[in-house]
Homo-oligomer: A and B are copies of this chain.
Amino acid sequence: MRRLASFLMLFSFAAFALEPPADEPLRGYSAEHSAVEVQWEQKFRAIPDRERIREDMQRMSARPHHVGSPYDKDNAEWLMAQLKSYGLDAKIEQFEALFPTPRSRKLELLGPAPFTAKLEEPTVAVDPTSGQKSEQLPTYNAYSRDGDVTAPLVYVNYGAPSDYEQLAAMGVSVKGAIVIARYGETWRGIKPKLAAQHGAVGCIIYSDPKDDGYANGDPYPDGPMRPPEGVQRGSVMDMPVYPGDPQTPGVGAKPGVKLIPLDQVQTITKIPVLPISYADAQPFLLALGGQTVPDNWRGGLPITYKTGPSKAMAHLAVAFNWDRKPLYDVVATISGSSFPDQWVIRGNHHDAWVNGAEDPLSGTSLELEEARAWGELLKQGWKPQRTIIYCFWDGEEPALLGSTEWAEYHADELRQHAVAYFNSDGNTRGLFRASGSHSLENFVNSVAKDIQDPETKMSIWKRARLASMLHATPEMRAETRTRADSRIGALGSGSDYTVFIDHLGVPSVDLAFGGEDEGSGQYHSIYDDFYFYTHFQDTTFVYERALAQTAGTMVMRMADADVIPYQFTDEADTVQNYVTEVKKLADTMRTEIKNRDADITEGVYAAAADPKKVSVPPAVEAIPKYFNFAPLDQASDDLTAAAAEYERAFAAHDASGETAVNDELLKTQRALTDPAGLPNRPWFENMVYAPGFYTGYGVKTLPAVREAIEQKQWAIVDAEIARTAAAIEREVEVLNAATKILSGN
C-alpha cells in the first residue's frame, strides 16, 4: 500500500567521507559474543538467493490475490507450507474484516458533449497476466460509500487543505459539486474527506500524466509509466482516525466479535468516490469552465486546466457489496533460547490489489527468503536469544487489516514482549531508506554499514550518506560532517508498522531501497505484475537480495544481543529538533496571521486584485496568544540528560552482563503512548509519531501539539504541550531506572 510514504520518509542519510573503524564489538554484545555473532551474520547474508526470490515472486503474482480472492488464500497456504518446509513453526491466524467490492460503477458526463467513462484497464499483449479479467478487482476506491449523484464538476488540484484555500481566494466553492482531484501530494483518502468537509457531493480521483504518466517517461509497456487507461485503485478509508476493520476499532476481529453497525462506522467516506484513468478524465476536465488554474495546479494533459464549475453535469453512481471477508495472516515463530518473552517481529503483507508484483510481492518474496535462511541456520546450530516472529500479513491494501487485527488481538502480549518491529513493503533499486523510531537510529546505522550496495560495492550506509550530499543545504552538509549517525526519517502511515508504533508504542522501522526505479505508474493497477517488475524494476533482483540481507541482519542482531541495543542520545537529539520545529511553527503562523491581517487592513489585496478575475481576500483573523512551551523544553532537556547518563553507564562497563536492564528498556517506547490518544482519534496513542490527520501517510511528529497549531485549535495547544511533555518525562523515568540498573545503584 505504501507509496507516498517512500518519498516522505526518506532516509536522510548524511555523508561522511570515512566509515568509522568496525572493530568495536557490536552494541549490546560482549567482545567475545560479538565475534561469534559477526560470523553468524556473515553466514546468513550468504544465503538469500536472487533466483529463489524471483521464483517466489512469480508464483505469488501468478493470479490476482486481493482480500477474499481464491488466490489470496492459496498464497497464504503456500506461504505456510514453505515456512514449514524450512523447518519453522508456521500457522495461519485467521481474522475477518469489512471489505467492500464493487457491485456497480458508473461515471458519465451529461450535456452537449456526453461521455461515459470506460473504467477499464485493457489487456496488454506482451503482458501475460494483464488479461486475467475474471479475477481482477475492478478499478475502485475501497470504503467509498454507496451513492448516486448528479452535479457540476470542480477541479481541486490534489484536494489538499491549501488547495481549498486557493479555491476560496478565487471565489470558487465545491458546495453541491462533484470534485475532480488528481492523485498525489496527499494520501488519496484525504481527498474525499476534505471534499465532503467543504460540501462536495462526490469525488473523482484521476492519475494525471504529469504525476506518473508520459511526462516522466514512456508509458507501459514501452516504459514504466502509467498508460492512458491505467488506474490507481486504493483505499479511501479515513485511516488517520483508525486503520483496520472499520467495525472493530481497537479489537482484534476474530470471527464472532461484536461489530459496530455499518451506519455508525466513522471511517467510511461521506461521499461516493471513484478513481479513473487520464484517458477517462480528459473529457471531464475539458468540460470545466471558470478561471484558468495557477501554475502549480496544471497537469500534463494538452488542455487548459480550469477550476470549474462545469456547465455540463457529471453523473457518478457507485454501489458496493458490503461483505466481511476472511484474512489469512501467516505467522512463523522461532522461540528464543535465553529471552523467549522478548519478541523481535518482522512483517510484510502478501495481499495485493491485483497481481501486485512490486506491491507487495517484491517485499514478501525477500522476507520469505530470510525465513528460509533461518531454517538453514537453525540446522547449523544457531540459537537466537530472543523469540523471532515472521509475519506475512493479509489485507494490508484495504486498510492495514491483517496487521491491525492481529496486533489488536495480541495487544497485551505485544505491550509486554515486543522489542522491535521491522517492516518492508514494495522494494526497488537505489539508495537505502529507513524510517522509524529514533531509539533504533543508531542500530539501523550499525547494520547499514555492514551491507554491500550491489551497484557501487560500497556499503549501503556510505552510498546513502554520500548521495545525500549532492543537494544538501549548507546546514545539512555541516551536520553530515559532524554527526556520527545518519538520520532516519519518522514514520507516518502507509504500511503495516502503523499499529505497532502508533497504537502500541513498539519501536518500529520501515526498510526499502528506492529512488532509481520509482515514481513508476503501475502502482495499484493490473500492470503491477511479474512482466512489469522483471522489465522495469529491480530486474536482476540484486536489491531484493540486499534488502533480505539488511532486514535479516537487523532481526538477527536484535534477537541475539545480550542487552537490547536501543540508544537514546540520537532519540533525544531528534526530539529536541521536533520541539524546535513546533515552537518555530507557532511563531511562523503567528507572524503570518499578523502580516496577513495588516495586509488586509492596508488594502494590499485590493491593490493586487485584477478586476477581470474573481478574487476574494481572506478575512481578518484573531492573532494567537503565545503558548507555554516550557514543559516541552524541560522534557526535551531531561531526555537529553537521561540519554547521556544511560550512555555513560552503558559504556562504563561491559553492559552485556546486565541483561536485567532489558525489562526496563522494553518500557521506554511504550512510555511515549498515552491511553487517551490524540485529540479526536484515541486509537493513535503515540505522542511523538503519528500520520497527519490531513496528510494520511505523511508523518506529524509531536502530533498533538503540531496539529493543534496547524489546525489553529489555539485553545488546546497548552494542554497538548503538557500531555506530550508528560509522555517524554515518562520515558525519562524509565530510562533513569535502566541507568540505575547498569550503574548497580
Q: Which residues of A contact B (CB under 8 A)?
A: 15, 17, 209-210, 214-219, 223, 225, 292, 298, 300-305, 429-430, 455-456, 458, 462-467, 469-470, 474, 477, 515-517, 591, 595, 599, 602-612
Shortest beta-carbon distance, A513 to chain B, in Å?
Answer: 12
> In the complex, which of the residues A17, A300, A515 has the most CB atoms of chain B within 10 Å of its own CB atom?
A300
A214 close to B470 (CB less than 8 A) = no
Question: Closest approach, in angstroms, between the C-beta of A206 and any C-beta of chain B?
Answer: 15
Sampled A-B contacts (30; CB under 8 Å): A209-B302, A215-B304, A215-B305, A216-B292, A217-B292, A217-B304, A300-B300, A300-B302, A301-B302, A429-B612, A430-B610, A456-B609, A462-B607, A463-B607, A464-B607, A465-B607, A466-B603, A466-B608, A467-B604, A467-B607, A469-B599, A469-B602, A469-B604, A470-B599, A470-B604, A470-B605, A470-B608, A474-B591, A477-B595, A517-B612
Task: State the 8 A-B residue pairs at the shortest beta-carbon distance, nearest first.
Answer: A466-B607, A467-B608, A302-B302, A467-B607, A516-B610, A463-B607, A217-B292, A469-B604
In the complex, how many angstroms separate the beta carbon of A213 from the nearest chain B beta carbon?
9
Are A607 and B298 neighbours in the complex by a CB distance under 8 Å?
Answer: no
A602 and B302 in contact, given A467-B608, A477-B595, A607-B466 (Cβ under 8 angstroms): no
Q: How far is the CB of A739 from the nearest CB of chain B, in Å?
A: 38
A302 contacts across to B, CB distance below 8 A: 209, 214, 300-302
16 further A-B contacts with Cβ under 8 Å, apart from A300-B300, A429-B610, A456-B607, are: A209-B302, A215-B298, A215-B305, A218-B292, A301-B302, A430-B610, A455-B611, A456-B606, A458-B607, A466-B604, A466-B606, A466-B607, A466-B608, A467-B608, A474-B591, A515-B610
| Total copies of the chain | 2
Q: How far is the CA of A603 from the CA of B466 in the complex (A)?
A: 7
A606 to B17, CA, bound (A): 13
- Per the bound structure, the CA–CA distance linking A292 and B463 in Å amounts to 24
Question: Which residues does chain B contribute within 8 Å of A474, judged by CB atoms?
Answer: 591
With a cutoff of 8 Å between Cβ atoms, the chain B residues found around residue A300 in the complex are 298, 300, 302
Residues of B contacting A464 in the complex (Cβ-Cβ under 8 angstroms): 607
CB proximity of A588 to chain B, nearest CB, Å: 10
User: Which residues of chain B come closer than 8 Å to A609, judged between CB atoms?
Assistant: 456
Closest B residue to A16 using CB positions:
B602
In angstroms, Cα B602 to Cα A605, docked, is 51
Q: How far is the CA of A216 from the CA of B302 in the complex (A)?
A: 11
Q: Chain B residues near A602 (CB, 8 Å)?
A: 15, 17, 466, 469
List of B residues within 8 angstroms of A301 by Cβ: 302
Decide: A612 and B304 in contact? CB cutoff 8 A. no
Min CB–CB distance A67 → chain B (angstroms)? 35
Interface centre among A305, A467, A607, A610 (most CB of B within 10 A): A607
* Contact residues in B for A225 (Cβ distance below 8 Å): 304
